[in-house]
Amino acid sequence: MGKFEEVYKRSLSDPDAFWGEAAEELVWDKKWDRVLDDSQAPLYRWFSGGRLNTCYNALDRHVEAGRGAQQALIYDSPVTGTVRSYSYADLRDEVARLAGVLKARGVQAGDRVIIYMPMVPEAVMGMLACARLGAVHSVVFGGFASSELAKRIDDSQPRMVLSASCGIEPGRVVPYKPLLDKALDLSAHKPDGCLVLQRPENPCELTAGRDEDWHEALSQAAPTDCVPVEATDPLYVLYTSGTTGQPKGIVRDNGGHAVALKWSMKNIYNIDPGEVYWTASDIGWVVGHSYIVYAPLLQGATTVLYEGKPVGTPDAGAFWRVIEQHGVVTLFTAPTAFRAIRQQDPQGEKIAEHDLSHFRALFLAGERCDPDTLEWAQDKLRVPVIDHWWQTETGWSIAANCLGIEQLPVKPGSPTRPAPGWDLRVLDSEGKEVPRGTIGSIVGRLPMPPGTFPTLWNAQERFVKTYLSGFPGYYQTGDAGYMDEDGYIFVMARTDDIINVAGHRLSTGGIEEVLATHPDVAECAVIGVHDELKGQLPVGFLVLNAGCDRPFEEVEKEAVQLVRDGIGPVAAFKTALVVKRLPKTRSGKILRATMRQIADGARYNMPATIDDPAILEEISEVLQEAGYAEQRA
């Protein structure tokens, strides 16, 4: 039996011993009563009875062990021309003072704090300061519009909001303050106050009685100590797209999360304390929470916080410059970043301009990794390129090639085998296991491993209904795919209306809800269309109200703007097309899958239940005029 096989089997046959041993690597204020608590099955908890503090384990523990001078975080920001580094002692001190600021303003264990900030060290400090107090942070990605921020404020009811005057995108400054103001106008819940980081690129006027200047508050702050919390207490809530416009608050606990993430740094990514590890993502996404902030720090590694893009800041050599300059041994990013780099530097000439001799591995996730991109990266970088599969819900890998245990052969198109702790099955619609090689719903036998979400914020019923009731005894991932003869998993598509745009997860239902508010729109449908760079792009179809005689282009333009204002630029919604009717089944269900096939230029079978086949002709013509529906090889 190979080493991986041995570890994997043990994780399933004796989870108590397996995860109990992993937990010994952390400092606990009180040891757990039970490793796996199945008393409320199918709702499982990990390390119940245990008490710890995540910030202590991420920062103070290393300082107290004599490693305070080691670099903890390197901030590299090509958009502002800044490189700054913090030792573990520096970061601990900054976080302790920021926690002091929050505490002085009444933030206590269990209170929520919204963080709406760009990729600056203060945002990471904000997350860790909440963890230090046992408060629950909820980071909202900067590319979301005010109404999305307002929904998150109303759902999580924060005591405070941490924000900044602006974010910086290549070629434009994004003022955050007006977005924050509008969100707080829209939300029913009002926080006690906001702490605002003034950035020199675009300082803002503070709202008297509500806002405080970050640096001023910090200059008068007293550092505060870590507050131990229950292992099962929430560390954060991170909202992600569901099938409706109401986002789901994914809850992460303290104990299971710290154990799983620390374990994953060595066993999956093969990173030792002191090594430099870089995740090029955003702290607004789960990848950023887990692998920019928590996992590298729990492991005592050095993490890189990069405020820039793979291309355009200044060019397609940006990643190689960062890897060389900071001694990065492993990079984790989304395939779309590599597609962007490859488009601009197909021969990888910029790679050759840098000394990458210390670089060991590239990890990709966030969307399906097309074999072409994987092979290009392998060929140009000459290091293992590892596709791994996970979700906001799971917080870390569901399937991966665990480099720290045993490197398995790479099969392009597959994120390799189920990770330790994950017993994956592929089921048909009746819940029966399908033969190897056959596509079905990918599910995980309960319990899921530590670090995965125990529930949805304020929505236990929705949690059970969405994830646990489709196939009793299993977690429904929402992804479809198959397992091959060697136990490799292939993730092919979502089983719901979620699309993946440049590694960002979006709900087509959510975009439809926004489009439907346009006064001239009677009906609409949004689909995800294949895109060479971003994987998928949303395209909207609008049926106008009878009697509306406005030029189509005018309504289409307004619809695009409506989504930008209603969801945010991150939706990358650039195409709305007016059509006479939408294709439907006789029972009135919109045939989105068929529309998607037409848009992608794929072959499709005429659905037997279609109400009026002629509509598909019209859809096809409109798509062709807009540059879609080209027959693809």
**Contact set with ligand AMP (CB under 6 A):** 240, 286, 365-369, 387-392, 415, 478-479, 491, 494, 500, 505
142 vs 583, which CB is nearer to ligand COA?
Answer: 142
To the nearest 10 degrees (0 to 180), the angle between helices 146-156 and 177-186 is 50
List the single partner that 19 binds among ligand AMP, ligand COA, none, CB under 5 to 8 Å by kind. none
Give the residue among 505, 578, 568, 510 at the shortest CA–CA distance from 541.
Answer: 578
Structure token digits, residue 353: 């301009």
254 vs 333, which CB is nearer to ligand COA?
Answer: 333
With CB under 6 A as the contact rule, which of the stretches 254-262, 304-312, 422-430, 616-624 interacts with ligand COA? Answer: 304-312
**The one among 309, 380, 411, 417 contacting ligand COA by CB under 6 A:** 309
Report the site for ligand COA in 374-433 (rule: CB under 6 A).
Answer: none
Interface with ligand COA, residue 334, by CB under 6 A = yes
Site string for ligand COA, 100-139 (x = CB under 6 A): ----------------------------------------
Alpha helices in 405-496 (DSSP H): 460-463
Q: Rg of the chain's alpha carbons, rounded to an integer?
A: 24
State in angstroms the smallest separation of the CB of 481 from ligand AMP: 8
359 vs 389, which CB is nearer to ligand AMP?
Answer: 389
Q: Side chain identity at 471, as an amino acid letter? A: F
State in angstroms the smallest separation of the CB of 12 from ligand AMP: 22
> Angle at CA 121, nearest 5°, toward 116 and 127?
55
State in angstroms the smallest separation of the CB of 510 from ligand AMP: 14
Q: Which residue has the tokens 């960002």?
A: 504
Interface with ligand COA, residue 366, by CB under 6 A = yes
List the single partner that 368 binds among ligand AMP, ligand COA, none, CB under 5 to 8 Å by kind. ligand AMP
List the single partner that 535 binds among ligand COA, ligand AMP, none, CB under 5 to 8 Å by kind. none
* DSSP run (H or E) holding 400: strand 399-400
Distance CA 94, CA 306 (A): 19
17 vs 533, which CB is nearer to ligand COA?
Answer: 533
Report the site for ligand COA in 502-521 (rule: CB under 6 A).
Answer: 502-504
List the single partner that 478 binds among ligand COA, ligand AMP, none, CB under 5 to 8 Å by kind. ligand AMP
Phi-psi category of 111—alpha, beta or left, where left has phi over 0 and alpha has psi -120 to 50?
beta
Interface with ligand COA, residue 345, by CB under 6 A = no
List the single partner that 146 binds among ligand AMP, ligand COA, none, CB under 5 to 8 Å by kind. none
List the single partner that 389 binds among ligand COA, ligand AMP, none, CB under 5 to 8 Å by kind. ligand AMP
Alpha helices in 439-506 (DSSP H): 460-463
List the single partner that 572 binds among ligand COA, ligand AMP, none, CB under 5 to 8 Å by kind. ligand COA
Report the relative pairing of strands 276-279 and 328-333 from DSSP bridges: parallel
95 vs 419, which CB is nearer to ligand AMP?
Answer: 419
Is 195 in contact with 215 (CB distance < 8 Å)? no
To the nearest 10 degrees (0 to 180), the angle between helices 592-599 and 614-625 is 40
State in angstroms the smallest separation of the CB of 159 from ligand COA: 24
Interface with ligand COA, residue 340, by CB under 6 A = yes
Residue 131, φ and ψ in degrees, nearest 5: -60, -35
Report the site for ligand COA in 559-598 (rule: CB under 6 A).
Answer: 569-570, 572
Q: How many other C-beta atoms lie within 10 A of the C-beta of residue 605?
A: 7
Phi-psi category of 466—alpha, beta or left, where left has phi over 0 and alpha has psi -120 to 50?
alpha
Side-chain-side CA neighbours of 511 within 13 Å: the count stands at 32
Using CB under 6 A, count the residues that bind ligand COA: 23
Site string for ligand COA, 154-173 (x = CB under 6 A): -------------x-x----
Report the site for ligand COA in 164-223 (rule: CB under 6 A).
Answer: 167, 169, 174
List the single partner that 242 binds among ligand COA, ligand AMP, none, CB under 5 to 8 Å by kind. none
187 vs 240, which CB is nearer to ligand AMP?
Answer: 240
Interface with ligand COA, residue 440, by CB under 6 A = no
447 vs 503, which CB is nearer to ligand AMP?
Answer: 503
> Angle at CA 335, nearest 5°, toward 329 and 338?
70
List the single partner that 286 binds among ligand AMP, ligand COA, none, CB under 5 to 8 Å by kind. ligand AMP
Q: 52 - beta bridge partners?
A: 229
Q: Side chain identity at 281, as an amino acid letter? A: S
Distance CA 205, CA 182 (A): 14
* Size of the chain, expressed as the number of residues it contains: 633
With CB under 6 A as the contact rule, which of the stretches 15-23, 106-114, 130-138, 306-314 interacts with ligand COA? Answer: 306-314
**The one among 15, 142, 317, 444 contacting ligand COA by CB under 6 A:** 142
Is 502 in contact with 412 (CB distance < 8 Å)? no
Residue 123, φ and ψ in degrees, nearest 5: -70, -40
Q: Where are the beta strands (DSSP E) in 141-296?
A: 160-164, 166-169, 172-175, 193-197, 211-213, 229-230, 234-240, 248-253, 276-279
Distance CA 628, CA 265 (A): 42
Side-chain-side CA neighbours of 82 within 13 Å: the count stands at 18
Binding residues for ligand COA (CB under 6 A) = 142-143, 167, 169, 174, 281-282, 285, 287, 309-311, 334, 336-337, 340, 366, 502-504, 569-570, 572
